[in-house]
A and B are shown apart, each in its own frame.
Chain A
Amino acid sequence: MTGLTRRRALMTLPIAGAGLAGFGCWKMLSAMQDGSFDPRAIRLDKNERPIPDFVLPGIPGLGDGFDTSMLRQATQPVLINFFASWCIPCVAEMAALRVISQRIALWGIAYKDKPDDARRFVSRDGSPYRRTALDQSGMTAIDWGVSGVPESFLVLPGGQIAWHGTAALDETQFEQHVLPIAAGTR
């Protein structure tokens, strides 16, 4: 290759790279529009991040809350679910959560909710949660990295977050994404 052709090849690299990136972005946008791509679904690698420090009170009438150390000392994987009585997708998610709660320990955190509303919401058709807590200010949710409810986190024994879902859970999602990690197959 002569010097000039090599230079030419070199100078085409930027546009080639930009073109590839642009094509990827275009694919993402079109996939976002038909719903097959959701940038808000996040999976963390195992042991990627420890749970943040928090102490949360319980929802009045539904027992005590929980804190970091209780979660860390859990002997089995725990699915933490952030919910709120004012959030419509959370209402829709409840039915799926009841099924899921048969297969994994499910702990709920009410996000920016009034205590009475949260209690009524959880106990309306039978609570799927083994434990519940109230994050009235939303500060704990911020520490967890919640961007909106409902969101769920899979916490492994020892307090490592292994999975983070930023949309309402359903059974297929749970079986595909959460269960394999919880069972230790991934």
Chain B
Amino acid sequence: MFFLGPEEGHYALAFACVLALAQFILPLWGAARGIRLLLDMASRLAFAQFIALSYAFVSLIACAVGDDFSVQNVAANSAISKPLLYKITGVWGNHEGSVLLWALILSLCGGAVALLGRGLPLILKARVLAILGGVSTGFQLFCLLTSNPFARIWPAPADGQGMNPLLQDPGLAFHPPVLYTGYVGFAVPFAFAVAALIEGRVDAAWGRWVRPWAVAAWCFLTCGIAMGSWWSYYVLGWGGYWFWDPVENASLIPWLTGTALVHSAIVVEKRDALRIWTVLLAIASFSFSLSGTFLVRSGILNSVHAFANDPARGVFILGLLAIVIGGSLALFAWRAPGLSAGGLFAPVSREGGLVLNNILLCALCAVVVTGTMYPPFMQILTGRTLSVGKPFFDATTIPLALPLLAAMGLGTLLPWKRGHLLPALRRLRIAGVIAAIALIGGSFLLEGILPVLCAAAALWVIAASVVDLASKLGLRGGLHVLRQRLPRLPRAVWGSTLAHIGIGVTVLGITGMSQAQHNVVEIGLGETIHQGALDWTLLSVRQEAGPNYRALIADLSVSKHGRVVATLHPSRRDFESQHQVTTDVAIRTNLMRDLYAALGESHGQGSSARYVLRLHNNPLAPWIWLGGVVMALGGALSLSDRRHRFGAPRKPSQAVAGEGS
């Protein structure tokens, strides 16, 4: 494909970088001098940059699909025998390609603002696009100067080195784009925040414009984190779903500040309060997204998901971060004190509840940041090395999460400005009864005090959300009230209810997982392991040949009280060309519990052979990810609300509020 070769791609990338630089400078100049022509160019430059970058990305895919091993990136990560799907997805399975994907999504965000932000005031829109262009310029320079995906090698090898077989998995293939969209999506609220600081004005209209972008990014990030957690559950074969690994934490931190942002933006929109705080949250969410990437790629934090680390790249990204984060925070320190404070409210009110939500989420975020960054900082300061792991995070996050859940149930029932706790609590008495039953029942059924509290808190959130929805629908008033209210209830209400229920479902799943039974055993053919009420029997073990691996497959039957409930076939794949063995976990779920088996190694021959097996009975495990999906659906539903629909016509009064400056 001569017109999609590596040189064309390289050129398109450089061209996109120039366009991004123009997108950064010209609109800002135009906004400062009031030159209409330059303001109008912002959108066109954003579209052009997106097209140029798409061309570069498609070129790289063409190189990978066409097995052009003179391109170093393709030679190092692909091979002729690789299935077509993984040739394509392998493009972003490595450092260089993933940076290009990151830049592509960033330019997509710019294009989306240009396209969907028709209702925005011209100057604000130009400034937002300029900031996005500036960040794009930095990332494309990073790509061009330190991680060029189009670099050539000579002589070109006859075949590539292949890809890590662990990454040959459909779940992982689509995980990075979703996660990156979440990370990069927060660039839009960031750009809105910086633009507002330049303008020196934040108002309710600003809150209404920024919120859908924050919600969209939050939805993608939620999905991305859930997919990553699910991948480590069923591919790595360790039987866990979250390891407090630095890479996982790097995705959780912006999720926490992003969740706070989504909520505090409501207060800006409805009550015109918490403006400065919301601006700071918008800056922080994107800053954490960026620094997480930096810390992982530079090798300061090491992890199982390691990319090739390179301190030289680290220096470049650190410089980029200093400009983006340092610049925006310096602007914040300069302009924010001049912003007027917003409306007042009593501590017990909807605003008060949202402030509490923000405080707890930020405290959680601070805890995760501390736990993640403490080891390298202690090492550089004192020379002592240590590691912070699951015990620390369990002990610190759960005590913060419990009051957050408790407040979540109550918050949505409080009225704006000034409320009273007692009437709200009275309306929640059914939810209270359910939580109390869970507390009592749980203390008999569950091991440990924290799981009991978590289960009760999760049921409290779910019940309170349902009660709240029911009262908004006027279920007490009978069918005719319902018929009146049902079509009028905004989708945002449905969305927030669903998202809150999703959190409850995830917490229930996590609670269930804490009660998992697991054994690592070494057994021979025909032997049976008793695990609670379950009996696991190893029936047979067979060999099978795959396209580029040999598989050893075990047949396990699981029975309960003598009745077979499932047969599982965990296997181990030996990729000889890469000297790597992967485990293929067998999971049988009925949505209330997962039976999970992983095959370890074997030794001995024939009938005396013995096999290491990891056997789990994980109650409620699927709910962890189901809850994530429900949360993201809730966000999507609230995005589709009329008020937030991007193209929705503005009321005249709001149009006036948005004009000027």
Contact = CB atoms under 8 A, between A and B. Distances in A.
Interface in B249-300: 276, 280, 283-284, 287, 291, 294-295, 298-300
Contact of A28 (B284, B300, B598): B300
A29 interface: yes
Contacts of B291: 21
Q: Which of B276, B519, B600 neighbours the largest number of chain A CB atoms within 10 Å of its CB?
A: B600
B386 A44 contact: yes
B449 interface: no
B302 A48 contact: no
A114 B66 CA distance: 36
A139 B333 contact: no
Interface stretch (B321-329, B344-352, B641-649): B321-329
B333 A15 contact: yes
Interface residues of B, number: 60
Interface in B364-382: 373, 375-377, 379-380
A43 B322 contact: no
Contacts of A54: 520
Interface string A50-92: 0001110100000000000000000000000000001000000
Contact of B581 (A37, A55, A138, A164): A138
B583 A29 contact: no
B332 A11 contact: yes
Nearest to B335: A11
B376 A137 contact: no
B600 A32 contact: no
Interface stretch (B53-61, B107-115, B157-165, B310-318): B310-318
B387 A164 contact: yes
A174 interface: no
B302 A139 contact: no
Contacts of A25: 294-295, 298, 300, 318
Nearest to A43: B385
A25 B302 CA distance: 14
A112 interface: yes
Interface string A3-45: 0100110011011001101101111110111000101111111
A171 interface: no
Interface residues of A, number: 47
B337 A40 contact: no
A135 interface: yes
B572 interface: yes
A11 B335 CA distance: 9
Nearest to A135: B601
Nearest to A13: B333
B336 interface: yes
Q: Which of B276, B377, B521 neighbours the largest number of chain A CB atoms within 10 Å of its CB?
A: B377
B302 A147 contact: yes
Q: Which of B236, B321, B386 neighbours the largest number of chain A CB atoms within 10 Å of its CB?
A: B386
B365 to A, nearest CB: 13
B605 to A, nearest CB: 11
A29 B520 contact: no
A99 interface: no
Nearest to A138: B581
A11 B306 CA distance: 36
Contact of B337 (A11, A29, A44): A11
A142 B239 CA distance: 11
Contacts of A33: 311-312
A116 interface: no
B329 A14 contact: yes
Contacts of B612: 55, 137, 139
Contacts of A175: none
Nearest to A65: B603
B386 A45 contact: yes
Q: Which of A21, A29, A135 neighbours the largest number of chain B CB atoms within 10 Å of its CB?
A: A29
B453 interface: no
B326 A112 contact: no
Contacts of A22: 318, 321-322, 325-326
Interface in B384-423: 384-387, 389, 391
Contact of A57 (B337, B376, B598, B603): B603
A32 B389 CA distance: 23
Contacts of A137: 572, 581, 583, 600-601, 612
A53 B520 contact: yes
B614 interface: yes
Contacts of B583: 137, 139
B385 A112 contact: no
Contacts of A120: none
B330 interface: yes
A31 B380 contact: yes
A139 B318 contact: no
A15 B332 contact: yes
Contact of A112 (B299, B322, B519, B581): B581
A44 B521 contact: no
Interface of B: 236-238, 276, 280, 283-284, 287, 291, 294-295, 298-302, 304, 306, 311-312, 314-315, 318, 321-322, 325-326, 329-330, 332-333, 336-337, 373, 375-377, 379-380, 384-387, 389, 391, 519-522, 572, 579, 581, 583, 598, 600-601, 603, 610, 612, 614
18 contacts: A11-B332, A11-B337, A14-B283, A14-B333, A18-B326, A21-B373, A22-B318, A28-B300, A29-B300, A32-B298, A39-B302, A43-B385, A43-B386, A48-B389, A55-B521, A136-B581, A137-B581, A142-B238
Nearest first, the 4 closest Cβ-Cβ pairs linking A and B are A15-B329, A137-B601, A57-B603, A7-B337
Interface of A: 4, 7-8, 11-12, 14-15, 18-19, 21-22, 24-29, 31-33, 37, 39-45, 48-49, 53-55, 57, 86, 112, 134-140, 142-143, 147, 164
Given A8-B333, A8-B337, A43-B386, 5 more contacts: A15-B326, A22-B322, A29-B311, A139-B612, A147-B302
